[in-house]
Structure 1
Amino acid sequence: MTDDAPLLSARGVTKWYGRRLGCRSVGFDLYPGEVVAIVGESGSGKSTLLRLLTRQADLDAGTVSYRMRDGSLRDLAALTDAERAVLRRTDWGFVHQDASFGLRMSVSAGGNIGERLMSAGARHYGDIRAEAGRWLARVEIDEARLDDTPDTFSGGMRQRLQIACSLVTGPRLIFMDEPTGGLDVSVQARILDLLRGLVVDLGLSALIVTHDLGVARLLSHRIMVMKAGEVIESGLTDRVLDDPREPYTQLLVSSILPA
């Protein structure tokens, strides 16, 4: 696959919940090494879109396709359950707002990372433990905490452990849902610096759902602004945030970002 071939392609993605619109006619391409932020107020449809893109919910219309490692572009709806499970274990990573959704809280930090490695085929205990220790250090957690459980960690440490678990299998695409939501400002800054460095160092593609335009500016190359289930403006992040064209985007920027 070349860098000019999309890694993820969405066309006409639409979802209704009865008579309530979740999202309508969303289409975009995500390229290797690119970070795209989906922003909007609560209820704008951004979280619904993320669930549709990751097949956590079924589409009412449209398609979502993914470029497999052999270069083929596959409709996610046509994949078998086993194929989707392999994607989730290896090629995709997830960073949730609440780290407990991505961790087993009563299993050690090393065990959480190790389980992800084992799901991707690793079997040698010594190698798994060593790799878990390396990833703890990489996300700025003392390796001495390898046998401690996440329920003894601070919120920021849990989030960094979740990031390690997501990245240890070498995924190509990371989905992030409000990755710094609910954390103290100083902790948010540390997590954002860590994420930005890892995305660049590993050449990752990422989709970030956030209401925080500061997060979008720091991490993303492109931005999509959602309102009432539709993408109303998109483009390069700095262009959209510095010179928004839609009145809604202008209001969003003026109310959240400092002048």
Structure 2
Amino acid sequence: METPLLQVRDLEKRYGSRVGCIGVSFDLWPGEVLAIVGESGSGKTTLLSCISARLEPTAGSVSYAMRDGVTRNLATLTEAERRLLMRTDWGFVHQNPADGLRMRVSAGANVGERLMAVGQRHYGTLRETAQDWLGRVEIAGSRIDDRPTEFSGGMRQRLQIARNLVTHPRLVFMDEPTGGLDVSVQARVLDLLRGLVADLGLSVIIVTHDLAVARLLSQRMIVMKEGRVVEEGLTDRVLDDPHHPYTQLLVASIPES
């Protein structure tokens, strides 16, 4: 049997007396897309931050299957090992692209920087690969020397996606990746993400309050309320036949088209 790519056990994060998340356990399998949904303040972003080693949990554990086949508790990694993991085997797509890009360097340099983190040094190869990836995220190759400050919000988000995926990470974290975009731009970005995730066989954990996004991208879903998981299961099952009253309320709040 395959080993889970990520194993989360009894994860808890407290801010003094306030609970960010508590008692969260799940496995993520290779090639699986998991959505974490809930209203603002439900604890989903805190959970994502703990899972992605951006925030130290109060209790519990997060273990990751390294490329050498050894599953390691993230708490035992050195800071250098954790940084290398974030720059190579993991990707993180922020809601605000400016948080995931270097705004004062060119689009090509943003993509090339990730390649350099995995040892690529040949300028011609860096530029050629960057140009290829700009094309894959529907940015004209002629914009390779333009800075992200000259791009629209949708283009910045697509550039951030290219920057994250160029090293072929096995796990990508996404925090409301379409939350700040216009509806028409959201559709293009979501369609792009769905295609790239399928083509590359990525494992993804996506945080969103938008159940339509969760249905489009994920196979499995976790529903959070007040820091706890109240329901989980296959995405279509959870959305078509919600069991918990809170999930039923979320589903009922989706505007009818």
TM-score bin (small chain): over 0.9
Tell me what 2:198 maps to. Answer: 200
**Whole-angstrom CA distance in 1 between matches of 2:192 and 2:55:** 30
Tell me what 1:258 maps to. Answer: 256
1:63 to 61, 64, 70: 61
Q: Which runs of 4+ in 1 moved over 4 A?
A: none
**Whole-angstrom CA distance in 2 between matches of 1:137 and 1:143:** 6
Q: Deviations over 1:207-240 (max 9, x none)?
A: 0000000000000000000000000000000000
SS in 2 for 1:13: strand
Size of the alignment, in residue pairs? 257
SS in 1 for 2:138: coil
Tell me what 1:15 maps to. Answer: 13
**TM-score, reference length from structure 1:** 0.98
Q: Following superposition of structure 1 onto structure 2, how do residues 1-259 of structure 1 map, counting pairs within 5 Å?
A: 4-258=2-256
SS in 2 for 1:62: strand
Higher mean C-alpha deviation, range 86-95 or range 27-36: 86-95
**TM-score, reference length from structure 2:** 0.99
The AA in structure 2 aligned to 1:147 is D
The AA in structure 1 aligned to 2:34 is V
Percent sequence identity over aligned pairs: 68
Higher mean C-alpha deviation, range 163-172 or range 79-88: 79-88
SS in 1 for 2:110: helix
SS in 2 for 1:36: strand
The AA in structure 1 aligned to 2:53 is R
**Structure 1 unaligned residues grouped into runs of 5+:** none
**Whole-angstrom CA distance in 1 between matches of 2:54 and 2:132:** 31
CA contact (8 A) 1:15 1:24 kept: yes
CA contact (8 A) 1:214 1:257 kept: no
Q: CA RMSD in A?
A: 0.9
**Whole-angstrom CA distance in 2 between matches of 1:137 and 1:113:** 12
User: C-alpha displacement at 1:258, in angstroms?
Assistant: 2.6
User: C-alpha displacement at 1:257, in angstroms?
Assistant: 4.9
